[in-house]
Amino acid sequence: MVDSIQRMIAMARLTLKAAFRFKLIPWLFLILGLAVLLIPYVIRHDGSAEMFAQVQLSYSLLATTTLLAASTIWLSCGILNRDLEKHHITLLASKPIARWEIWLGRWLGILCLNTSLIMGMGVAIYGLLLFHSKDLSTEEQVQLNRVVLTSRASASEAPPDEEREIDQLYESRSQQTDIAKMDVSVVREQLREEVRWMNQLVKPLHRRLWTIPVGKQGVHREEETLQIRVKFYAAPDAETTSFPMTWIIGDPKSPTRWEKELDLAPMITHEWSVPASLLRADGMLQVECRNYTDLSLVFKVEDGLAVLYRDGGFLFNYLKGLAVLLAWMSLLAALGLWAATFASLPVATFLILTMLLVLSSENLFRSIVTEGTISAVDEHTGEASWQYLDWIMVPLFTMLYHFTEILRSMAPIERLVTGRSIPTGAWILHLLLVGGVLIGSAAGWGMLLFNRKELNHT
């Protein structure tokens, strides 16, 4: 076992030397460094903490991730492909080293390279963030530390028990003659839509109440604040672009309640701070919205309203985000080496890029999973065109959809920019999924193909 590890470490060193021979590392460091340094000067912000974080964190991390992904694909596909074309593998295979050790050693070398690059760029981005934050006003610096340079968990109201409400409605309406004659499943489906709208709709001159279980875990000092995060929808043909509504936070009968009228725009996430002292003794926060417009507003159950509270520091959250990005780069390296075992450099690169394009098609996956077919559905008959392929393609796309949803749900850059915490449990599960399942599967398949590949000795 020790000898095997030593041989893989030797292969990792050869991989790093090959990256230097390709002049990849010096150029990559130069491009990444210029991107991180110049982005704050090329893309200007309006002086607000949110826009400042968007420029400093979001654009810098996106540029770093994009460049690292491109270099990882090119290096992983190119280095193994070059070994096969230049017959370096034949020379290595003649030595006391297994082929799987060669493959895994190459992957470890790329992992070490990406680790050093991500950590180096991570330190640079964090340092420049602190350096440029001094140019903000005093108020915006306070806001930056409150909503960006922090780690905030979110709490929202528990989803309503729709089935219980459907049962109650069905029991009260089943006595009607026209409903009694209808199919039970059809009636319940109609009631389900009605219940869903009832739980999301705030009619004109009506109010909506939320009781959010925040708890006391995120409040350590009386002067700390909570953030109310709101997003709502209105009719697309509405003539107005903002809707006046009154928000009351805390006990509405208490003189210390937070009450304010706000003009908010639909389909945009709004956020404001309220005192943490508004929490009740049982850790619940009462939120009330009064709709004074002449239009109905929709607050979706999944993202209509949430309360954000501090649960840790930014630095640890930042390191967890960088670890997620490193895991994604490691997965790309494994996929690149897998593709290089049976395809040339251009074909392997095109294959990986195509896979990334397909996996990023969220709407395509969702429509296939929802409709249960990969083809179009006939409007008159309700039948799919390619039903003979659905039995194998739909389960495949369903599995890919759930995998991509898990990957997409982490969204480390978005969480860091908005000061949202990366939950430790979900973070560990995410790393286990990427490292244990996805990378493990790609590595196992790649080593199997590489072990069975017939080498050309000419």
Q: What is the pLDDT of residues 346-403, one digit of tens each?
A: 888 888 888 887 777 767 667 776 666 666 555 545 455 556 566 676 777 777 777 7
Residues of the chain with CATH 2.60.120: 155-312
Classify each residue of 208-231 as buried b or exposed e, where b means 16 or more C-beta atoms within 10 Å of its C-beta. Answer: bebebebeeebbeeeeebbbbbbb
| pLDDT for residue 418 is more than 90 | no
- Give all strands of the β-sheet with 225-230 in edge-to-edge order: 151-155, 305-312, 225-230, 270-275
Mean pLDDT score across all residues of the chain: 81
CATH 2.60.120 holds for 155-312: yes
Name residue 284's amino acid. M
| Closest to 325 in 3D by CA, of 72, 46, 19, 47 | 72
Q: What is the pLDDT of residues 307-338, one digit of tens each?
A: 998 888 899 999 999 999 999 999 999 999 99
Element (H, E) at 386: none
Q: How far is CA 46 from the centre of its chain?
A: 26
| Closest to 32 in 3D by CA, of 129, 114, 135 | 114
Say what the pTM is: 0.81
User: In 156-257, where do the E strands start and end?
Assistant: 201-202, 207-213, 225-230, 243-249
Q: What is the pLDDT of residues 81-118, one digit of tens each?
A: 777 777 667 676 667 778 888 889 999 999 999 999 99
| Closest to 243 in 3D by CA, of 197, 274, 205 | 205
Q: CA angle 389-359-39, nearest 5°? A: 165
